[in-house]
Amino acid sequence: MTGLKKRRVFLSTALSCMCLTLVACGKGGQTETLYENGRMESFLEESSSSGERASAFASDLCVVTGSEPSSDSGVNAEAATLFSVKDKQVLFQKNPFERMNPASITKIMTALIALQDGDLQKEITVGKETVITEAGASLCHINPGETLTLEQLLYGLMLPSGNDAASAIAVYEAGSVEAFADKMNETAWKLGATDTHFVNPHGLTDPEHYTTAYDLYLIFNECLKYPEFRKIIGTTEYTAEYKDANGVAKSQKWESSNQYLTGKRETPDGVTVLGGKTGTTQAAGYCLILGCEDDQNQDYISVVMKASNRPELYGNMTNIIQKIVK
C-alpha cells in the first residue's frame, strides 16, 4: 500500500469517527453532516501527523451523517448539493458521496494549487504540453513558445476552460502533468476530499479520475478564501495581452461560460452569483459548481453533477439556489 493510499484510508476512518464529536453548528444548534453511515473503515496502518489531520478537520466545516436525499422533483441530475458556508448547514443533498467524473470542474483544484504556490505575475513560457489533440477538448488557444503570466493562464483556465492552460500550469508548478496530479491528490487529501482522485489537471475522461459533490464543496470552499479566485470566477470577459513564440505582441479575449454571469440565465431574487466552473464531457454529462451570496453577503456553494443537457443543468441549479432565500 502506498503512502498516499495509507493516508486516504486513515482519513476516511477518522472522518467517520470524528463526525460524532464535532461541535454542533447550524440553526438552533443542530449539527448537520454529510458523511453517510457505513463509511467507517478499519485503521489499517499509521500514516499521518496530527498537524496534517487538523487541516482536514477544519473548524469551519461540517461533517454530516444521513444519506437520504432531499426531496425536490425539479432536481433530476445524478448528484446535487447546496451548502451554507457560514452557518455550516446542508440545505440540499442528493448523492453527495457518489464518485463521478467532474469534467472541467477539475480545474478549480488546478487553480487552487496555482494560487497557493505561484507568483501570479510570474512570466511563463509554455511548452509542448499545450498541444491538446483530444476531440472536443476546450482550449484557450495558447501555443508552445508563447509567454504569459500565471494570472493570464488562470483566466485562460477558468473562463474559456482551457485544457492547454491547465497543462501549462501543471508543468510550471510541478514539472510534469503526472507530478502535478500527485500534488492535486495530496492537496485533496489535506482538505478531507477522500473520495477524490485526479490523474490530470483539466478533467478529460479517465476511469481513475473522479470526485464527489461533497468533495467538490470542500475544494471550492478553500478556493473562495482567495480574493484572486473570486475575482477570476466573477469575470465575464478578459483580454490577455502577451507575446507569441517570436516575441510579437498578441491579444486574446476570453469569455465566461457561466450563463448566470453572461445573463443567459436569470438568478433568483435575493441571490447573487459570484461565479463558478462548468464541466461537460460525454462521461460526466453537464456539471456546474457555483458560489453565491444572499442579501446578507453570506456565501453558499452549490453543485450539480451529470445533468442530461445544458438546459436541465441550469434548471436544476436554479431550483437549488432558490432554496437560499426560502
Q: Which of 84, 104, 257, 302 is catalytic?
A: 104
Nine-digit cell string for 258:
457561466
Cβ atoms of 183 and 171 within 8 Å: the answer is: no
Please count the residues of the chain. Answer: 326
- CB under 8 Å to 210, separation ≥6 — which residues? 99, 100, 101, 102, 195, 196, 197
First-to-last C-alpha distance (Å) of the chain:
48
Q: Which of 161, 167, 256, 302 is catalytic?
A: 161
107: annotated active-site residue: yes
Q: Which of 94, 107, 183, 277 is catalytic?
A: 107
CB atoms within 10 A of CB 310: 16
84: annotated active-site residue: no
For 56-95, letters b (16+ CB in 10 Å) and e give beeeebbbbeeeeeeeeeebebbbbbbbbbeebbbbbbbb
With 0-12 / 13-18 / 19 or more C-beta atoms within 10 angstroms meaning exposed / middle / buried, residue 36 is middle
47: annotated active-site residue: no
Q: Residues with catalytic annotation? A: 104, 107, 161
